[in-house]
Chain A
Amino acid sequence: AQSVTQPDIHITVSEGASLELRCNYSYGATPYLFWYVQSPGQGLQLLLKYFSGDTLVQGIKGFEAEFKRSQSSFNLRKPSVHWSDAAEYFCAVGGGTNAGKSTFGDGTTLTVKP
């Protein structure tokens, strides 16, 4: 069975500081990995995805993520955080015989200090 762990429930960073959100997955084959962001009261927006190829993936809003098979990780990074990045971040893994199901992590809440 596939699973996703986001070890950090809540992270606080200062505006302009760098950010790394952790995501560990469990999956038997090559995973399909996603990072979504959700602002309060809104739907989820895809930041980036990894299916295959280059393990460093660029996304929207200046985010990137690196797939590390040896560590079963897909951590999200941003070099300089803006106040508007404060939101909930979900890592998700999809795959297997049922393409309709993605498994989401529990999320990490990002707070940005001025």
Chain B
Amino acid sequence: DTEVTQTPKHLVMGMTNKKSLKCEQHMGHRAMYWYKQKAKKPPELMFVYSYEKLSINESVPSRFSPECPNSSLLNLHLHALQPEDSALYLCASSQDLSGSPQEQYFGPGTRLTVT
């Protein structure tokens, strides 16, 4: 199984709402990633978890809060977002972060609209 799943596919939320994005993989990967992608742009790295510990935070605003409850699951908690946060949020996983960079397996993404 080389699939990364993400729920929900689409999410519309107001600026005062709290919501969560979920990501799951069953490939035994120990590194998991959150990316933000605007239309016609490359993915921008937000967070990286390695062995359930936060390894990289690319200076993301605190209204985005990641969580890795176990090696298969990755959440992104959203609170008090701004309209400019509307984007496609992609989750990815890779074997781990040791040694050489490895290919990342991406989920289909969650299309987020902030109203």
Contact = CB atoms under 8 A, between A and B. Distances in A.
Interface residues of B, number: 30
B101 A44 contact: no
Contact of A32 (B88, B97, B101, B111): B101
A50 B25 CA distance: 24
Contacts of A51: 100
A41 interface: yes
A41 B56 contact: no
B99 interface: yes
Nearest to B9: A41
Nearest to B90: A43
Interface residues of A, number: 25
B43 A44 contact: yes
A36 B43 CA distance: 11
Interface of A: 32, 34, 36, 41-46, 49, 51, 88, 90, 94-95, 98-102, 104-107, 109
17 contacts: A36-B106, A43-B6, A43-B106, A43-B107, A43-B108, A44-B90, A44-B92, A99-B99, A99-B100, A99-B101, A100-B45, A100-B50, A101-B45, A102-B101, A102-B104, A104-B43, A106-B41
